[in-house]
Amino acid sequence: MTLRLILMRHAKSSWDDPRQADHDRPLNKRGRRSADALGDWLRDKGYLPDLALSSSSLRTQETFERLRLTSPVDYQSSLYHAGPAAMMDALQQAEGQTVLMLGHNPGIAEFSARLVTHDPAHERFYDYPTCATLVAEFPETNWAAIRFGTAAPIDFVIPRELV
């Protein structure tokens, strides 16, 4: 048995109100469309999480809601602008066979690059644009046992390929 991780950056957020705190920025119209499309893509591919771990920011919460998935979600303030170490700590405490993790750049791009055994064949993998999604599998049966550099990339997609 393997463990599957769906690693997604939040969808495009709004900068309409420059006084708004970064944590409280909502999705913009393009972001809502992208999150809807990514939810459809996940369902079409059968990449359905048992659990979602997400940053507590408004834009990650809205991204998750627009995916229209049935899994429970755990919004964690420790994942707000988290780096690879904090993301790994959260993931190693997860349960279920498939976990969706929603986060922010630059942490999510760094985390994804450190997780995989080799880069997916995609030109946007390193800059990890908004709503970019990596699907990777670990040859483990327990999330506590996963390590950097051991995940096989299965799929990678960006919203422009879907909308």
What is the pLDDT confidence band of residue 26, given thresholds at 50, 70 and 90?
A: very high
pTM confidence score: 0.97
Determine whether domain 3-161 maps to CATH 3.40.50.1240. yes
Mean pLDDT of 14-31: 94
What is the pLDDT confidence band of residue 18, given thresholds at 50, 70 and 90?
A: confident
Count CB atoms within 10 A of the CB of residue 17.
Answer: 10
What is the pLDDT confidence band of residue 163, given thresholds at 50, 70 and 90?
A: confident
Per-residue pLDDT for 1 more than 90? Answer: no
- Are the CB atoms for 24 and 153 separated by under 8 Å? no
Look at residue 30 in the predicted model and tell me its pLDDT.
Answer: 97
Mean pLDDT of 69-90: 98
Distance CA 16, CA 9 (A): 20
Per-residue pLDDT for 81 more than 80? Answer: yes
- Are the CB atoms for 88 and 148 separated by under 8 Å? yes
Domains of the chain by residue range: 3-161
Q: What is the mean pLDDT of the chain?
A: 97
Mean pLDDT of 36-60: 98
Place of tokens 């066979």: 97
